[in-house]
Chains A and B, each alone.
Chain A
Amino acid sequence: EPEVTQTPSHQVTQMGQEVILRCVPISNHLYFYWYRQILGQKVEFLVSFYNNEISEKSEIFDDQFSVERPDGSNFTLKIRSTKLEDSAMYFCAGRPPLDTQYFGPGTRLTVL
């Protein structure tokens, strides 16, 4: 059974640097999401994406964050100027119509 994939599995960056996290959803997914999970805490919604535009975003998803699906397959999350508090596990998820969300394995982002 195909699974959502994410790269890299672990990203270490310096504070203030830009990072791009990548996700490859399954081909029949139409809705895409990014979530983050700070170590030991709950999973938090960041943004949802449908038809090549943002559908909803949380208060966490400020101007430092952006998403896009540049080539119709990869779904990316960009953080322009990382902060220490951005250190977390970032999960993307995809959802086919009338179905549930399927999570990727996550990217662990460490900001030093």
Chain B
Amino acid sequence: GENVEQHPSTLSVQEGDSAVIKCTYSDSASNYFPWYKQELGKRPQLIIDIRSNVGEKKDQRIAVTLNKTAKHFSLHITETQPEDSAVYFCAASIEYGGSQGNLIFGKGTKLSVKP
């Protein structure tokens, strides 16, 4: 089955700096890659996602890149702010035909943005 590896497990940056979190996946059939932000005691919230037909997607300060050949994808946060502090999870799934896209998550990255 699918296996998702995520690095680093913790990341500390100064406010205004950029943060990059990287994930690799094992199943070449995976074609949907969402990123979730989880604040302490809260539900995972989707922040950005990418499908395998594109290599990059951007939404304001957040961007995701996908390299299908290498089977890795990355989250980039620019101009970080203290409110970006949270645990970020990457995930992978297969979406096609009858599949309902069960998400396989990475282990998470705890991002701390210091003011």
Contacts and interface: CB of A to CB of B under 8 A. Distances in A.
Interface of A: 31, 33, 35, 41-45, 48, 50, 55-56, 91, 95, 100-106
Contacts of B106: 42
- Interface residues of A: mostly helix, strand, loop or mixed? strand
Contacts of B42: 105
Interface of B: 34, 36, 42-46, 49, 89, 91, 100-108
Contacts of B49: 100
A28 B54 CA distance: 27
Contacts of A100: 34, 46, 49
B101 A95 contact: yes
Nearest to A57: B102
Contact of A48 (B36, B102, B104, B107): B102
Nearest to B46: A100
